[in-house]
Structure 1
Amino acid sequence: MDVSVLVDRLASMKKTVATAESCTGGLIASSIVDIAGASDCFNEGYVTYSNEAKMKNLHVKESTLLQYGAVSTQTAKEMAMGVQKAAHADFGVASTGIAGPGGGTPTKPVGLVYIACAYGDKCQVRQLNLSGDRSQVRHQAADEALQLLSDCMDEIGE
Structure 2
Amino acid sequence: MWIDYNKLAGWELVKEVVVGGLEWVGFSKVNTRKLLCISSQKTTIIDCSSGEILECSCEYDEEATIAYCDELPNEGIRIAGYYGGKLPDNSVQGDSVNVNKENFITTVLFSPAQGNKNMIFCNYGFYTCGFSYDGKYFVFAQDAGVTVLKRSN
TM-score normalised according to structure 1 size: 0.30
Pick 1 or 2: higher relative contact order, CA cutoff 8 A, min separation 6: 2
Structure that is richer in helix per residue: 1
Structure that is richer in strand per residue: 2
